[in-house]
Structure 1
Amino acid sequence: MSDSTTLKMDVPVPASLLDAGTQGLIGRPLDRIDGPLKVAGRATYSAEYALPNLAYGFLVQAKVGRARVTGIDTAAALEMPGVLDVVIDLDTFIRNPQQGGSNKAPTQGVEEIHYFGQVVAIVVAETFEQARDAAARVHVALEDKPGLFEFDARLEEAHKPKGGSTEPHVATGDPDRALAEAPVVLDAVWTTPSQNSAAMEPHASTAVWEGDALTVYGSYQMPASDKQQLAQALGMKPNKVRIISAYVGGGFGSKLGIAPEVVAAALAARKLGRPVKTVMSRQQVFDATVRRSNTHQRIRLGAGADGRLTTVVHETVSSNIEGEEYFEPAGVSTHFLYAGENRRITHDLLPMDWLLSGSMRAPGEAAGMLALEAAMDEFAEKLGMDPVELRKINDPEQDPLKGVPFSTRQLTRCLDEGAAAFGWKDRNPTPGARREGEWLVGHGMAASARSNHLQESQARVSIGADGRATVETDMTDIGTGTYTILAQITGELLGLRPEWIDVRLGDTDTPPGAGSGGSWGASSSGSSVYLACEALRAKIATAMGCAEEELTLKDGRAIAQNRSVPLSSLVGEGLSAEGTIKPGKLEEERRQASYGAHFCEVRVNAVTGEVRVNRFVSTFAAGRILNEKTARSQCIGGIVFGIGAALTEELVHDPRSGRVVNHDLAEYHVPVNADVPHIEVHFLPERDQFANPLQSKGLGELGISGAGAAVANAIYNATGVRIRDYPLTLDKLLPGLPTV
């Protein structure tokens, strides 16, 4: 017996069933239920499926940044031991008229090269090593074309994009006039480089055909939409594609969509008639998946002598492949973070023959707040104000751009409580004033904000005759704790201990979930589980012969009207229900966001320019915290991302070809343990009835937002050196450091 419940968020949910539960699971810092599997090596990741008759693929890449393919010589590769085939007709195969497409693709398959490292073929062999070695013998003949490899000298060629996750150009009032009349003005440019998600697990896919149906074991953040993308790429109907992504070793946006290895593996497997596994090398991940775009951000602020902002202008240029309209929405938090009746926020796009750019953790805020929060620090100094106070007096009562109320907003409280926990009042505001031997010591802070989103999501929850529950959705766990959180929600609403609940994720044969992205995963998928459990509670109450409000479920028992019976006695052979959550009017009627405040202490060596982050304290308000341990872990991870953005992370493009020259973890420097201090994270109690029935909000990308700017501001306080070009490496610091 199964029913379906759908909720569209058109009206708030002031009373959540989570507050009526008695199991005591919500908010508790429970260990991740998938943890033992992972530490014991029993969690199967995408490259670890051992299927019968498996062949191995290795991708062949172009070695120029812009060219036309004139020929591909596979003879030497095909003669090597173990080589089964070299599939080069990647486009023609999928556009063959028999597959429902057109026949316009060139006979060579991939014809136009748009970036260095673009995939042009796949070699398939009996072993990975044989495929890799043979790939080096494939000769790709190319006719070079002039490439677009220069960014800074071509800024005037940027155009207003047609697509994107936010409106590219918005404005209110008359910002140019207001700036001209403002007593205090800041006008400066910040730049951020290209970045790579650098997830621990590389992209990998194993493709298996059964007749005209395809199953892919892969590493994907959003299987429901990835299934649609893959079906479209292969000219198939979506119901003929199944994706299994049970465990994902990190993604940070790089696995939101499909990558080249899955299409190549699927085509090769179909042609050979046997399963093909394709695992990208670390260098291929850097070369041929996706990057966070570099940005050029000009920020202008205008205010009276009292520090109250009258004008906010944030203009960004980012880059992408010609014809792609995705842009880095760096000004997305500038829309609503601070007051100012005159505003202009623009995003323009410059075509480049560089690797495709796309979403990376906190797309928009991560890069944009590096500039905005550094600008606020600089503006506070210009005004002679404390940077915390400047932010507090510009905390708006409603969305300054849309004119709608906030759902909840505790920015000022985050600032106050974070400052108290850090000891901000003891900070010396004079740059370079505190020194301990060779070390200059400084303190900096920044606000944090991340828009909250709800994504349509479905889930099925079943109770078996034994009283155990099963949760099914193709939602993923990319290291965020989804398995645990969904078990906590189910356990709280159905009165079950976590060990009595089986959570099955990452299989598109189950109801389509929200996927892991945009910080919407826990709230969206959790809400669909909530709705399914709500429907089950109604069925249980009927079986119990009581009203729903009279029913208590705890420790596997149903309690009502002075009776207590095992839950299993009320479900017969089993009960099942599905829940669907959808965004609604509240997304437009209320500005929904999570907020926070970062406080940082750094030590800068006056002789070498070495920077050490010594202390970090952050306070966040993000609706109901579903699991304090996984939530804190997400915030810490985001802050580490921010430290990397501030100090070390930079994809370097060769100006002659656009090639990423530091395409591995040896030369793309992410923070390691020695770079990261103990990070102290505090959560403020909060419920957001406008967000979803859980009353929770997005958290996974809140930690990174503003974190790097706090580091940059602390470096300025330590040294008096203001750098607006990220990352803040020692070569940029050394010229301005004290000589003694």
Structure 2
Amino acid sequence: MKAPETAYVGRPISRVDGRAKVTGAAKYAAEYNVPGLAHGYVISGAIARGKIRAIDAGEALKLDGVIEVLTHENRMRLPWFDRNYYDEVAPAGSPFRPLYDNTIQYSGQPIALVVAETFELARYAASLVRVEYDAEPHETSLEQHLDRAREPNTNKTGYIPPKSRGHAERALASAAFKVDETYTLPVEHHNPMEMFGSTAVWDGGGKITVYDKTQGSQNVRDYLMKVFKLSEGEIRVLSPFVGGAFGSGLRPQYQVFLAVLAAKQLGRSVRVTLTRQQMFSFGHRPAVVQRVALGAAPDGTLEAIIHTGTAETSRHEDYVENMVLWSGLLYRCDNVMLDHKVTQLDLPTPIDMRAPGAATGVFALESAMDELAVSLGMDPAELRLKNYADVDGSSGKPFSSKELRACYAQAAERFGWSRRNPEVGSMREGDALIGWGMASGVWEAQQGSAAARAVLTADGTLTVSSATADIGTGTYTVMTQLAAEALGLPIDDVTFLLGDSALPTSPVEGGSWTAATIGTAVHDACLAVRRRVLELARSVDGSPLAAASIDDVTFADGQVRLAHDPYRGVPIVEAMRQGKVDVIEEQVQAKPDSSKQKPFARYTHSAIFVEVKVDKDLGMALVPRVVIAVAAGTILNPKTAGSQVLGGVVMGIGMALEEESVLDHRLGRFMNHDYAEYHVPVHADVGPIDVIFVEEHDEVASPIGVKGLGEIGIVGVAAAVANAVYHATGRRIRDLPITPDKLL
């Protein structure tokens, strides 16, 4: 018998939401229009620290169609202004509260909201509002204030300080070969295509429906409930489509607060959309300064690893990433010293940005590993294999699975690494210097707790739902695949719903845990429906399944079949018809099996091999090709999974060569706050990217064998590019991005 046509897991299914996106049927947060909709325009503060002395909105309010100018002086009183209310992913400290008082905490801070009948009128009226300030001295440079660095406040964050072991400084001092360098990375800003916007729809009776750009509709709902003292029945948050996020939408951003504030205070629907420039008033990867020191024996055995880092954070919150964690687990070494500090500056709180901590920390570690390989006269890949870790040295736990060796081997072979001439500057193509570099990548494989609901109707259609999000990662598609295969239904007969706070409980979509977390819940909900269907199928007149247990049957092509005799079975619709059941509905809460997971360290791994081409006269570096091999457990959909890794690599190329938010420390303001001056890779910057998925089986990381892919694609890429630049030019760039001035 041929394979069932309803076997979908592992197949490169095209996005089920693709047609809606390319035809414009998919609606985003700022695209919902309702009668009487007013428009809000945010006025951003012009100083980095100080007080607002006065706000004069008189001229703006004279304009016909201007409804109100909301400031700290006339906004409604809220419980939030009397105490701190946190969202699900807030770091330790006091969350920023828009329009709280006249204090300026950072440049670009929202200080007023102009509400008018049209967006254009609101924007013009905002230019008429006059603001007077009492400026105070500000501090925005991390390098100039490293002396103020301190241990982060771990209260409420769940952040666990990294563990050291052995005697790293002593081992470093006695090592035959050593590297001891400083690596710096600048602020990077999220620049998703869809800017942040919120449409707060007022129903006239006190209920509000909010369309928001977010990675967690329930996180935003719970935040708004606490801030505005609303019941769950009074607020609903919808976010069915998100135009890019990768961490910027984990926390509720200030425009959603301002939209709901205006809707409640004015008693009408209000939309607030941020400009591209205002997108630089939050949502950035923090600037970091790191020290990595490695000591090794003449044969390359690591004897000491020291990785310390200081990152910037705001005055009001301690944002902390696991920046140095990776150096304690990626390689085998008995003497490891890790330390992480933060420096509070007059800037907005940083926020998670694709592979937070790992993208920055692994850059430093993998750059240092390349420097050590050069010092030893050893192949960089060979050095990593020499110090391959089968156990997480920080926890002492074995890995639930780790096919990193296979990643090295397969990526190196595909890339042609064996043809590399190790001599610096030895490979050329015309006037261009060619360099080959490589690096390792690692990211944690997590599974959280989530609920999912599955509803099967008598016509054979299935609707599955959970309040998760899809930020372009393919969540709609892979959940549809899982559900369709579990019940053996055609994929066109399955619908997955998400992005609605009224749906079953889900954590925010981030951290590469969505496929494992929501996928497990979806799978379990469908298994519960399977059992109900089998009960009905067993009762059908003359059923060949009368004595069958759930382990004796398969679900395929819309039927319940005997596993040992697939020609005998009962159609699902027939089982429901004869059982006189119109709907089968099951909802489950899926939780990680801690007893199964706790004994193991769970991570996704990768190996990245990069070629760079550097113009020897102009110092321009391009990346003609990349090969990346990833071991991430079961791959639900190689098409969407490959797209995730490819996108991460492109982001890593941008991190290495282009992305940098430039601060004018005299003003305390980011100056390159648009697409014209904040550079990101375009098509001409990116050559072929070859993604390899290494076969890996892991039933510990998640019951469906899945590890996350959203983050791993960027980790290690910047280091591989920097290492290739060194191989081409002899210039070791430890301060990203690698711009032409640094290579001339």
Scaled by the length of structure 1, what TM-score is found?
A: 0.93
Q: 2:115 aligns with which of 124, 128, 134?
A: 124
CA shift for structure 1 position 218: 0.9
SS in 2 for 1:167: coil
Give the corresponding residue for 1:16. Answer: none
Give the corresponding residue for 2:375. Answer: 382
Q: 1:548 aligns with which of 544, 547, 550?
A: 550
| 1:561-603 deviation per Cα after TM superposition (whole angstroms, max 9, x unaligned) | 7643221223311101112222342443211000110111111
Distance 2:253 2:80 in 1: 24
Q: Contact 2:139 / 2:665 at 8 angstroms: preserved in 1?
A: no
Give the corresponding residue for 1:10. Answer: none
Give the corresponding residue for 2:20. Answer: 37
Q: How does 1:307-326 map to 2 (within 5 A)?
A: 307-326=300-319
In the alignment, does 2:729 pair up with 1:719? yes
In the alignment, does 2:572 pair up with 1:567? yes
- For 2:521, the aligned partner's letter is S
Q: 1:47 aligns with which of 14, 30, 34?
A: 30
| 1:305-334 deviation per Cα after TM superposition (whole angstroms, max 9, x unaligned) | 111112111101000111311123221322
The alpha-carbon distance between structure 1 residues 166 and 108, as it changes in their structure 2 partners (threshold 3 A), is closer
Give the corresponding residue for 1:135. Answer: 126
Q: 2:207 aligns with which of 200, 213, 235?
A: 213
| 1:600-636 deviation per Cα after TM superposition (whole angstroms, max 9, x unaligned) | 1111001000111111111110000000000000000
| 1:329-361 deviation per Cα after TM superposition (whole angstroms, max 9, x unaligned) | 221322311111111211100001123211111
Q: Contact 1:466 / 1:568 at 8 angstroms: preserved in 2?
A: yes
Q: How does 1:341-360 map to 2 (within 5 A)?
A: 341-360=334-353
CA shift for structure 1 position 435: 2.1
SS in 2 for 1:296: strand
SS in 1 for 2:664: coil
Q: How does 1:569-648 map to 2 (within 5 A)?
A: 569-571=574-576, 572-585=581-594, 586-648=596-658
Distance 1:556 1:401 in 2: 49
CA shift for structure 1 position 371: 1.0
Q: 2:139 aligns with which of 107, 131, 148?
A: 148
CA shift for structure 1 position 241: 2.3
SS in 1 for 2:670: coil
Distance 1:637 1:165 in 2: 29
Deviates most, 552-561 or 25-34: 552-561
Unaligned runs of 5+ in 2: 86-95, 539-547
The percentage of aligned residue pairs carrying the same residue is 40
Q: How does 1:454-493 map to 2 (within 5 A)?
A: 454-493=447-486
Give the corresponding residue for 1:69. Answer: 52
| 1:98-142 deviation per Cα after TM superposition (whole angstroms, max 9, x unaligned) | 99999xx99974321111000111111110100111112222221
The alpha-carbon distance between structure 1 residues 106 and 278, as it changes in their structure 2 partners (threshold 3 A), is closer
SS in 2 for 1:530: helix
CA shift for structure 1 position 416: 1.1
| 1:44-85 deviation per Cα after TM superposition (whole angstroms, max 9, x unaligned) | 111111111111111111100001122221111111231111
CA shift for structure 1 position 205: 0.3
Q: Contact 1:318 / 1:350 at 8 angstroms: preserved in 2?
A: yes
Deviates most, 645-654 or 81-90: 81-90
Distance 2:341 2:82 in 1: 38
Q: How does 1:358-507 map to 2 (within 5 A)?
A: 358-507=351-500
Give the corresponding residue for 1:17. Answer: none
SS in 1 for 2:485: helix
Distance 1:627 1:664 in 2: 35
SS in 1 for 2:608: strand
SS in 2 for 1:93: coil
Distance 1:334 1:533 in 2: 40
SS in 1 for 2:669: coil
CA shift for structure 1 position 657: 2.5
Q: Contact 1:100 / 1:235 at 8 angstroms: preserved in 2?
A: no
Q: Contact 1:22 / 1:492 at 8 angstroms: preserved in 2?
A: no
SS in 1 for 2:316: coil
Scaled by the length of structure 2, what TM-score is found?
A: 0.93
SS in 2 for 1:306: coil
Distance 1:685 1:385 in 2: 28
Distance 1:348 1:57 in 2: 39
Distance 2:476 2:616 in 1: 47
Distance 1:120 1:529 in 2: 43
Q: Contact 2:99 / 2:110 at 8 angstroms: preserved in 1?
A: no
Unaligned runs of 5+ in 1: 1-19, 735-740
Q: Contact 1:409 / 1:595 at 8 angstroms: preserved in 2?
A: yes
In the alignment, does 2:696 pair up with 1:694? no
Distance 2:529 2:82 in 1: 43
Q: Contact 1:292 / 1:328 at 8 angstroms: preserved in 2?
A: no
SS in 1 for 2:737: coil
Q: CA RMSD in A?
A: 2.0
CA shift for structure 1 position 477: 0.8
- For 1:554, the aligned partner's letter is A
Give the corresponding residue for 1:675. Answer: 685
- For 2:685, the aligned partner's letter is D
Distance 2:111 2:207 in 1: 25
Give the corresponding residue for 2:240. Answer: 246
Q: How does 1:168-317 map to 2 (within 5 A)?
A: 168-210=161-203, 211-287=205-281, 289-317=282-310
- For 2:653, the aligned partner's letter is I
- For 2:426, the aligned partner's letter is A
Distance 2:367 2:444 in 1: 20
SS in 2 for 1:172: coil
The alignment of Structure 1 onto Structure 2 pairs a total of residues equal to 712
Q: Contact 1:439 / 1:605 at 8 angstroms: preserved in 2?
A: yes
| 1:380-419 deviation per Cα after TM superposition (whole angstroms, max 9, x unaligned) | 1111110001111111121111101100011111011110
